[in-house]
Amino acid sequence: MTDLLTLQKQFILSHLKAGDVCADFTMGNGHDTCFLSKTVGETGKVYAFDIQKGALTSTAAFLEKENCPKNYTLIHDSHHNAKNYIGEKIKAGMFNLGYLPGSGNKELTTKRETTLPAVTSAIEMLDCDGILLVAVYPGHPEGYEEGVMLENYFSTLSRFEMSISKFQIVNSPTSPYFFIVEKK
């Protein structure tokens, strides 16, 4: 069976290397931040965002436990403000929309009104041959609406400037899926 998390990382690894700059736009518990940190190594940079203080605390502890290089900046702010912190092009960015795993609070989720500006600015920050991965969780109403909104937005972008794909398990409509934006 296809493991979507493994597949996501394979796509990222085809674009990201040691020394690159990248962003985890939805830090959560730090698993993507850790993956990005280890991928870009000592000479790279990782910016990671979350609006929940608990996410920063758990991520910092996880990165320490996993012996990640000290190449990351954990930012307590919304992903739609990323341009205020990142003043350079990024080679890769990751979004895992939805709610903080393990928090028990399924009411506090990413929202369309911040997700779209965040994704739009992330695309603007993408370097040539950069990649943006956006994981969507349609099993809750806001997640479903975020996915519809993003698909509508992505369909308006020039295929001559970027390639946008959607990876979804067809016979499981409420399972997570993801978009990949690759800048040409």
Which sequence spans correspond to the domains of the chain? Answer: 4-183
- What tokens appear for 25 in the block? 């736009």
* Tens-digit pLDDT profile for residues 39-55: 999 999 999 999 989 89
Predicted TM-score (pTM) of this structure: 0.92
SS3 call for 138? coil
CATH topology of domain 4-183: Rossmann fold (3.40.50)
Predicted local confidence at residue 1, as pLDDT: 63
Residues 6+ apart with CB under 8 A from 149: 112, 115, 116
**Residue 94 host element (H or E):** strand 90-96
Amino acid at 10: Q
Residue with more model confidence, 142 or 21? 21
Mean pLDDT, to the nearest integer, of 128-141? 91
Mean pLDDT, to the nearest integer, of 128-149? 90
Mean pLDDT, to the nearest integer, of 58-80? 97
